[in-house]
A and B are shown apart, each in its own frame.
Chain A
Amino acid sequence: MMGQHKLSQKDFALKFLSVLFTAVLFIAGCDRQPSDANSLDIVLQHRLNAKVQTLDPADIGDVISDAVAEEIFECLYQYHYLKRPYQLIPQLAEDMPQVSEDRLSYTIRIKKGVYFSDDACFENGKGKELKAGDFVYAWKRIANVKSLSKNWWIFDGKIAGLDEFRAYTKGCKSRGEVDYSRAVEGLQTPDDYTLVIKLKKPWPQITYLLAHLPTAAIAKETEDYYGKDIISHPVGTGPFKLKVWNRGSFIEMVKNTNYRTVLYPSQGDADDSVKGLLRDAGKPLPFCDRIVWRIVTEDQPRWLMFLQGDIDITSIPKDNFGQAIAPGIELTADMKERNIKLATFREPDTFWVGFNMEDPVLGKNKPLRLAISCAIDRQKWIELFFNGRGDVAYGFIPPIMPGYDPNIKTFSKTEYNPEKAKVLLRQAKDLHGGELGILKLSMPGTDTTYRQMGQFLQTAFLNIGLQVEAEYLDWPSYLEKLRTKGVQMYSSGWIADYPDVENFMQVFYSKTSPWPNSSNYCNAEFDKIYEMASVMPDSNERTELYRQAERIVVEDAPCAFMFHRVFYVMHHEWIENFKPNSYKSDSFGYGLSKYYRIDAAKRAAYQKKYK
C-alpha cells in the first residue's frame, strides 16, 4: 500500500507539472499572438520595420514610434486627408488660430466634448474631458529638462517664459519634483477651452508644429499614475487605444469607445471622386475595429507576408522591385492578377553628399567641391539603389514643396561630367598647392546598401583621380561625428517636417552648426535672408527670399545635391480610401488608419487562394 501511495504521489506530481507546463505554454502562446483572428472585428494589418521605442509623444524621436502613436494621440491641427497641396485643418482645435496683429499672440479655441480614452489612471477608470491645460502640461513636459525630451527644438527660444521654465527644471532634483502649475507667461488658459500662446518673435510655422505629434495633448493623470512607465501606457483622445504591446513582435490597438464623432471628409481634389475616395464622405470614423502592427525587420519576410495577405500595405523592397513593377512603372501581370494596387508619391526630402566647410582641404576649395559634384552620376545612383525611384536634386527645395524654384536647374552645379570634373580637380590641386591626399567619406550605416553606396562614390571619385576612403558608421556614431565636426565628407539628407522651406533652411543657417547644419556652412547673406524670411507670413515676397537663399547655397556648394526620393506603396484591393500623404510617410499608419475601410470578404477570398 505504501508503495502504491508513493507511486500515486509521484504520478500526481508528474501530472501537475505537465498541466502547469501546458498552462505556461498556453499563456505564453496567448501573449505572442494578436487577438483571435477569426473574430468578426475588422482588422487593419500594418507592419513596422523596426521596434517601437516609446509611445510617449514628448519622447518620440523616430518615425516608427511616431507612426504608431499618431493613432492614439491627437494634435490641435492636422492635414486635410484628401486635399493637395497640403492644407491644415483643425483636429482638437475648434477652428484655425486667431493671430494678433503683431503676430506674437495666438488664441486657439479647443473643441468641447472631447474625452481621453478610458484608463485606470482616471477616476473610476473613465476618460476625462480634454481641457486647454492638457496642452500646456504636454508642452511643459517637453520643456522639462529632467524628462529628457527629444523635442525641445520645437519650442526652443520661441514661447515667452518657456525657456525660463526649462531653466527652473534644471534646478529640480528629479522629473517628479517639477511643479507643472508654475505659470509660463506665453502659455495661458483664460478658460478650459481657450489656449493663448504668446511668442517671443513671430513664428509663422507654429501651426505646422501644432500638427506635429510631440505637441499632442497629454493628461497629467497619466504620468502621475504610471510615472516613467508612461512610455508604454499611452492615453490619448485619438480613434484607437493600445491593447497589447509585445515588444519586438506586434502591437494591437482597439477602437477608442470615447472617440467623438469625426466624419470622413466630404471634399477632396478634383479626381478624388473618380478614384472612389469620396464614397465614404460624411461617414463616422474610424472604419476598422482593430489595428495590428507586426514588427518585421527583414525585407523578405515582409514581402512574403504581403503577398500572402497578412499585411495590407507595404513599400517595395529594392530586390523585389522587378517582381512587382514592370518597365513603364506599372504593376507586373502577377501583381495585377492579385488585384494589388500601386500608389506613388514624392517625399519632401533632399539627399546630398555634404562637405565640412571648416575642413582645411574642402572648406576653402570650391573647385574641389565642384569636381566632386561633377564626378557623381546621380541617375545611375538612383537606378542602382532605388530602382529609378527618385529625381535628381538641383537644389535643396524638393519639387513637391511650395516655394520650389522651377528655374533652379539653370543655377545649379548638379551635373555629371567627368571631364569637367578632372579640369576642376586640377584647379583644386593648384589652389591647394599640391596633392590633395586621401579624403574621407562618412556613411551613416554599416549594412550592405550603405557599403555599396560608399563603394559607388569611391569609384566615381577614383575615376576623376581623387582618392577617397569610405568609413561606415552606425547611426549614433555617425551623429556624434557630425555633432563634433569630425567629418570631412558625409552622406546625408533632410526630410521636411512640415511644408515650409524654412524647415530646410535651418540646415544651412550658421547658428544651427554643427546640427542640423552639419556642413558648418556660414554665409552672412544667407543668414540675413533666413532671419528675415523665417518670421514672415506666407507671401510671394517670402517665396522669392527662399529662392534667393537656395541660389546662394547652390553657388557656394557646401554639398553636392544628389536626389529626391519617390515612394512606391502597394496595397491590397481590400483597403479602400487609400491616399498617400507625403508628410505622413508611406505605409506605417501615421494617424491615417482611421480613414481606411477594409473589405474583409475580399481579404478572406485572397488568402484562401494565395495563402
Chain B
Amino acid sequence: MSDIDKIISSKLPKGRSLWQDGLRRLWKRKLAMICFAVILIYFLLAGFIYAAELFHWHVGPIQWQEEVGRQYESPGWKHVFGTDIFGQSVLRKMLYGAKISITVALCASIISIVIGVPLGAIAGYFRGVTDEIIVWVYSTLSSIPYILLILAFAVVLRDKALFGYKLTGITTVYLAIGLTSWVGICRLIRGEVIKHKNREYVMAAQSYGCSNSRIIFRHLLPNVFHLVIIDFSLRFVSFIHAEVILSFLGLGEATRPSWGAMINDARIELSRGVWWQMAAATAAIFFISLALNIFGDALRDSLDPKLRIQ
C-alpha cells in the first residue's frame, strides 16, 4: 500500500457490514434482548435434557415418569404446577415438553429451509419452465388448507419406514410440518432472487464466467440470507403451535410428555377442576411464542437495509 492509500484509508470512517450494523441496533433494543434470553433459556433447557438423557444424569425433567405425589395434587410449594392423574409432576412434564417442542420446531425449520431456499433460488434465477414447475408445485400445496395438509402427511408418514428408519411420534411430526411448510420461504427467496438477478454483482460474476450454481449459492444466497433468518424466527413459533395441534389431535408424540398432549389430557380434566396441567402447558407455549414474536420483529427491523439508510 502506498503512503497515499494509507492516508486515504486512515481518513475514511470505519465501515460496518450489514450484519454488524443490524446486530448493533438489535443490541440496543432491551426488550428484544430479554426475549432473546428467554428463547436461549428454552434452547438451553432442551439441550440440557438431551444431554441428561445421553449421559444418564438423574435430574427432574427426565424423570417425569416418577410418582412424586398423589393423583391430581393442586399446585403448592411442594409441586409448583401440581400433579397429574398418575401423581407425576406437571412441572417436570412441562420442562420435558420444551425438548419435544424445540426439537420439532428446529428440525421442521431446517427441513423447510433446506427444501424451500434452494427451490426458491433456482426458480428465481432460471425462470422459464423451471420457475413454472416450482411455482405450480408450491401453488398447489398452498391451495390446500395448512392444518389439513399437515394432518394428511402425519397420517401417511406414521409408522412408515424411511431408509430403514421407522418413523414414529416426534419424527413423523417434524417431517410432516417440514415437508408442508417450505412454500412461504420458497416464495420469499424466489422474489428476492428475481430482484437481485439483474444487480451488478451478479452480472459481474456472470461475466467472469462463474457457473450458475456458484452464482446462486456463493453470490445470491448470502445476499438474501438475512430473510431466511427473519423468516426462521417467525416461523419457529408457528411450528411449535403446529406440534401442539398435532399432539392435541393424537397424531404427535404419544409416549413422552409434550405441551400438545398435556393440553389434550387437561381438556377432560378441566371438568373435575384440574386446571394446572392446562395452565402449565399454556404458560410454556405463551412465553416462547411471545419471545419469538417480539424478537423476530426486532430482528426484521434491525436487518432491514432500508432502515439502515434512514
Contacts and interface: CB of A to CB of B under 8 A. Distances in A.
Interface of A: 299-300, 303, 317-320, 322-323, 384, 446-448, 451-452, 454-456, 458-459, 462, 469-472, 477
A446 B85 contact: no
Given A319-B271, A322-B272, A462-B65, A448 B86 contact: no
A260 to B, nearest CB: 45
B271 A320 contact: yes
A68 B267 CA distance: 30
A471 B159 contact: yes
Nearest to A318: B268
B255 A319 contact: no
Contacts of A462: 65
Contact of A470 (B254, B264, B267): B254
A472 B254 contact: yes
A452 B265 contact: yes
Given A459-B65, A469-B255, A451 B268 contact: no
Which of A299, A318, A458 has its CB near the most chain B CB atoms (within 10 A)?
A318
Contact of A448 (B65, B168, B265, B271): B265
A416 to B, nearest CB: 16
Nearest to A462: B65
A466 to B, nearest CB: 14
B264 A448 contact: yes
Contacts of A322: 272
B271 A446 contact: no
B305 interface: no
Given A319-B268, A320-B272, A459-B65, A446 B261 contact: no
Contacts of A319: 268-269, 271-272
Given A319-B272, A458-B255, 7 more contacts: A299-B268, A447-B250, A451-B250, A451-B261, A470-B254, A470-B255, A477-B159
B212 interface: no
Interface string B14-34: 000000000000000000000
B71 interface: yes
B19 to A, nearest CB: 46
Contact of B71 (A300, A384, A458): A384
A363 to B, nearest CB: 23
Nearest to B87: A384
Contact of B250 (A384, A455, A456, A472): A472
10 contacts: A299-B271, A320-B271, A322-B272, A323-B272, A384-B85, A446-B251, A448-B265, A459-B86, A462-B65, A471-B254
B250 A452 contact: no
- Which 9 pairs across A and B sit closest by C-beta, in order of nearness? A446-B250, A319-B272, A472-B254, A319-B271, A448-B265, A319-B268, A448-B264, A451-B254, A300-B271
A320 B269 CA distance: 9
Chain A interface secondary structure, helix, strand, loop or mixed? helix
A136 B264 CA distance: 50
Contact of B254 (A446, A459, A477): A446
Contacts of A323: 272
Interface residues of B, number: 18
Interface in B227-278: 250-251, 254-255, 261, 264-265, 267-269, 271-272
Nearest to A469: B255
A449 to B, nearest CB: 8
Contacts of A447: 250, 264
Interface string B267-307: 11101100000000000000000000000000000000000
Contacts of B71: 384
Given A319-B269, A319-B272, A452 B85 contact: yes
A317 B271 CA distance: 10
A472 B254 CA distance: 7
Contacts of A318: 268
A591 to B, nearest CB: 31
A480 to B, nearest CB: 11
Nearest to B249: A446
Contacts of B254: 446, 451, 454, 470-472
Nearest to B269: A319
A451 B264 CA distance: 11
Contact of B268 (A384, A448, A472): A448
Contacts of B251: 446
B255 A448 contact: no
Contact of A455 (B86, B168, B271): B86
Nearest to A473: B159
Contacts of A454: 254-255
Interface string B83-99: 00110000000000000
B86 A452 contact: yes
A456 B86 contact: yes
A273 B85 CA distance: 43
B58 to A, nearest CB: 15
A228 to B, nearest CB: 28
Nearest to A455: B86
A323 B271 CA distance: 10
A384 B86 CA distance: 8
Contacts of B168: 471
Nearest to B268: A319
A297 to B, nearest CB: 13
A262 B149 CA distance: 55
Nearest to B267: A448
A470 B86 CA distance: 17
A389 to B, nearest CB: 16
Contacts of B269: 319
A322 B271 CA distance: 10
B267 to A, nearest CB: 7
Contacts of B268: 299-300, 318-319, 448
Nearest to A472: B254
Contacts of B65: 455, 459, 462
Contacts of B261: 448, 451
A451 B260 CA distance: 13
Nearest to A385: B85
Which of B261, B267, B271 has its CB near the most chain A CB atoms (within 10 A)?
B271
A111 B167 CA distance: 60
A478 to B, nearest CB: 12
Which of B159, B168, B250, B261 has its CB near the most chain A CB atoms (within 10 A)?
B250
A301 B71 CA distance: 25
A454 B85 CA distance: 13
A213 B254 CA distance: 38
Contacts of A451: 250, 254, 261, 265
Contacts of B86: 384, 452, 455-456, 459
A456 B159 CA distance: 22
A299 B267 CA distance: 11
A611 to B, nearest CB: 19
B263 to A, nearest CB: 10
Nearest to B248: A448
A409 B264 CA distance: 39
Contacts of A448: 261, 264-265, 267-268
A94 to B, nearest CB: 50
Nearest to B271: A319
